[in-house]
Amino acid sequence: MWRPQLDALERAGRTALAVDLPGHGRRMGERFTVTGSLVAIEEAVDRVGGRAVVVGLSLGGYLGIAHAARRPDQVDGLVAAGCSSVPDQPATAAWLLAARGFARLPDRGAWLNQRLVDTALPPKGAQAVADGGFALEVMVDLLSAMRQVDIVGDLRRITCPVWLVNGQWDHFRLQERLFLAAARYGHLVTVRGATHLVNLVRPVAFNRVLLEALDSVDAGEASAELLGVRQGPGPHAPDEAGGVGHHDDVVPHRGEDSGPDASGVPAAQVEPVPLEHRA
């Protein structure tokens, strides 16, 4: 599911690694645990040189936050997408109940999941997700375990720059104002026209956000940008392969302006984590 980003990062001359968390992808047969997931991220950072910009979506975003809070020595920057709602809330209990119901179906909800993917994603995005396999059996363990993680508390402990990236129509951005306030060096970005799986629904725009974050970390300019000095995406030009978006694709928010965007949508919540080693 990170294929569009890995391709764009390779063209940009970056070293990147996509991580399979326990219970996902090549590790589908393993039992999901938060501890095992954090170990997987730690090992992946070591594989790309010991320090990285960590990028996660949904579950991966939550775990990226938890990892950055526990291993600040490994993280130069964090891009946490689609994970701006507190995991432990009534809606989570409803998702958990639904996951237990799907687990009792003959196909464990595979048919319904495929229909949802085909409806929600463009063809290339749907194919990228399908190629990695659907981690349906992990949902009960995942939802139960993440309710015990203090994500907002972890955000407050992070000392590196944090980019909170949410699709305009993401149902997991409902508490992004709280998350932005908790991040010491936080930056909020909304990707127009995107839903929860923002990197697959609007991959070109997401690539621009990711490359902007990496450039900012490389140049040591993150603090100034996060304080609102930069009013829009920087000068990263679209590449010839079309993997980088244009300036009007994304809407960065100044630190003090963390409310709903111009559409009136309140500002973002649950997969693998790519890791980007600084060039």
In the chain, domain spans: 3-87+150-277
CATH homologous superfamily for the domain 3-87+150-277: Alpha/Beta hydrolase fold, catalytic domain (3.40.50.1820)
Q: Which two tokens stand for residue 70?
A: 């526990």
Mean pLDDT, residues 199-204 taken together = 93
Instruction: Give pLDDT, residue 234.
Output: 44
The whole-number pLDDT of residue 23 equals 87
Number of H helices, E strands in the chain: 12, 7
Mean pLDDT of the chain: 76
Percent of the chain with pLDDT over 90: 48
Task: Determine if the pTM surpasses 0.85.
Answer: no
Query: Residue 143 has what pLDDT?
Result: 67
Mean pLDDT of 116-139: 65
Supply the DSSP symbol for 171.
T
Beta strands in the chain, from DSSP E residues, in sequence order: 15-19, 52-57, 75-81, 162-167, 186-191, 250-253, 273-277
Q: Which residue has the higher pLDDT, 246 or 220?
A: 220
- The residues facing 253 across adjacent strands are 188
Instruction: Reduce the DSSP state of residue 78 to 3 states and report it.
Output: strand
